[in-house]
Amino acid sequence: MAHRTEHRGEPGKGLSIRKVAELAGVSVATVSRVINSPEVVAEPTRSRVQAVITQMGYTPNPFAQVLTTGESRVIGIALPWFHGEFITSILQGADAQATKLGYQLIMTSFFRPADGSRRDRVLGNGFVDGVIAMIDNDADPLVNDLAGTKLPAVVLDTDLSSRGVDSVILDNASGTKAAVEHLLSASKPGDCYFVGGPRANFDSALRAASFGDCIKNAGAQLRDEQVCFGDYSMEWGRDWAERAHREGHLKGAAVLAGNDDIAFGIIRRAAELGVKCPGDFRIVGFDDTKASNLFTPRLSSVTLPMEELGSAAVRMLVARIENREAPVVCEKYPTRLIVRESSRP
């Protein structure tokens, strides 16, 4: 006959969240809140639960918590890539806000690093309570995935509120308008150019449209060659500068670049061609990366509140997790022009 022996392992080992709740005389959900968001629990209850946790040496098991409470206190964020100042700022804001609200943040990328191919699934496998996804164009297949998922979700950079998904976006129009008006203060409308990223990119398309509106509002007819699309790289900026110089409109130009990298490429190639900035032409970038203040000349740029966007996305997602029936919202965050040497007359 087998004999039952008393377990004398580490304190708390094998202890469940249900047992903690039983000993403290509260619900499992209350124990979970004490662990993850103690500030929302009344002090007497919080102290009682914490005393049991301390006495028993309980260590939360996140997987067991999912099975017991239906909540993991984990949220996911899916991004096109993990490099660059733009993405880093989003992650810093998102992670800080998740920690503040008692959630863990896990990350995934849309692409497999080995071959650059698209992942088929990025919305998690049931472990996360909700997901944030960054989408940069309306044609992305993830748009339909997000619009059809029952998982609480927030989209960054594209407005899907009309399709039932909470969204956080940039006010591209305000930053573009400020940049173009600044360029127009010392340049003719016909000398202004927008050198953007991909045509299908949400931000690039909105900035191009706002640029066109500003030129038309200045009383000029927008020519096709005043708006160009490429990619967000220095190489594209160099290519545009070389072509503009060959066609005779680099000197005297007032350029709004789709991001700082494009602007850097334009300035570098122009210098190689003997065209100086400022002096021979003026330019404003977008993103206001750290390099913009270190580059020569210092680059005027439209600053973007990326940490604020990451933080807002997490805050919005947690609100959706806690109230799935709340009205769908879209929050728009302002952009602001920083004027430096590159765009001065």
- The domain that holds 106 is classified in CATH as 3.40.50.2300
pLDDT of residue 82: 60
Residue (of 142, 176, 175) closest to 156 by Cα position: 142
Provide block-wise average pLDDT over 10 residues at a time, the chain (345 residues): 36 65 86 76 88 79 50 78 77 90 79 46 64 81 75 88 91 95 96 94 93 95 95 95 95 96 96 95 94 93 93 93 91 94 93
pLDDT of residue 83: 63
pLDDT of residue 81: 67
Residue 250 lies in a domain: yes
Phi-psi region of 247 (alpha: psi -120 to 50; beta: other; left: phi over 0): alpha
User: H helices within the chain, ranges in order?
Assistant: 17-24, 28-36, 43-56, 62-69, 85-100, 142-148, 172-184, 202-217, 234-247, 260-272, 306-322
Q: Do residue 297 and residue 324 come from a single domain?
A: no
User: In angstroms, rounded to a whole number, what is the distance separating the alpha carbons of residues 342 and 288?
Assistant: 13
Structural contact between residues 260 and 286, judged by C-beta atoms closer than 8 angstroms: yes
Residues 6+ apart with CB under 8 A from 92: 307, 310
Q: Do residue 25 and residue 42 come from a single domain?
A: yes
pLDDT of residue 146: 75
Tell me if residue 216 falls in helix, strand or coil: helix
Question: Global pTM?
Answer: 0.75
Residue 1 lies in a domain: no
pLDDT of residue 61: 57
Residue 8 lies in a domain: no
Q: Do residue 157 and residue 187 come from a single domain?
A: no
Cα 197 to Cα 48, 160, 161, distances in angstroms: 57, 21, 24
CATH number of the domain where residue 47 is located: 1.10.260
Which of 69, 92, 109 finishes a domain? 69
State yes or no: cis peptide before 345, omega within 30 of 0: no
Residue (of 200, 86, 270, 202) closest to 283 by Cα position: 270
In the chain, the number of structural domains is 3
Which of 53, 69, 85 finishes a domain? 69
Structural contact between residues 201 and 208, judged by C-beta atoms closer than 8 angstroms: no
Q: Do residue 292 and residue 234 come from a single domain?
A: yes
Residue (of 127, 116, 160) closest to 142 by Cα position: 160
Q: Do residue 219 and residue 297 come from a single domain?
A: yes
pLDDT of residue 118: 47
User: In angstroms, rounded to a whole number, what is the distance separating the alpha carbons of residues 58 and 43?
Assistant: 20
Q: Do residue 296 and residue 195 come from a single domain?
A: yes
List 227's β-bridge partners, or say none.
194
Residue 52 lies in a domain: yes
Q: Do residue 163 and residue 230 come from a single domain?
A: no
Residue 104 lies in a domain: yes
Structural contact between residues 82 and 134, judged by C-beta atoms closer than 8 angstroms: no
Residue 138 lies in a domain: yes
Three-point CA angle 208, 214, 216, nearest 5°? 105
Residue 242 lies in a domain: yes
Structural contact between residues 134 and 156, judged by C-beta atoms closer than 8 angstroms: yes
Q: Do residue 279 and residue 196 come from a single domain?
A: yes
List 74's β-bridge partners, or say none.
104
Q: Do residue 264 and residue 229 come from a single domain?
A: yes
* Residue that has been written with the tokens 């570098």 in this structure: 268
Q: Do residue 283 and residue 321 come from a single domain?
A: no
pLDDT of residue 211: 97
Residues 127-166 as b/e (b if ≥16 CB within 10 A, e otherwise) read ebbbbbbbbbbeebebbebbeebebbbbbbbbbbbeeebb
pLDDT of residue 71: 57
Q: Do residue 204 and residue 300 come from a single domain?
A: yes
Domain that holds residue 117: 74-169+306-333
Which of 69, 93, 110 finishes a domain? 69
Q: Do residue 250 and residue 239 come from a single domain?
A: yes
Residue 199 lies in a domain: yes
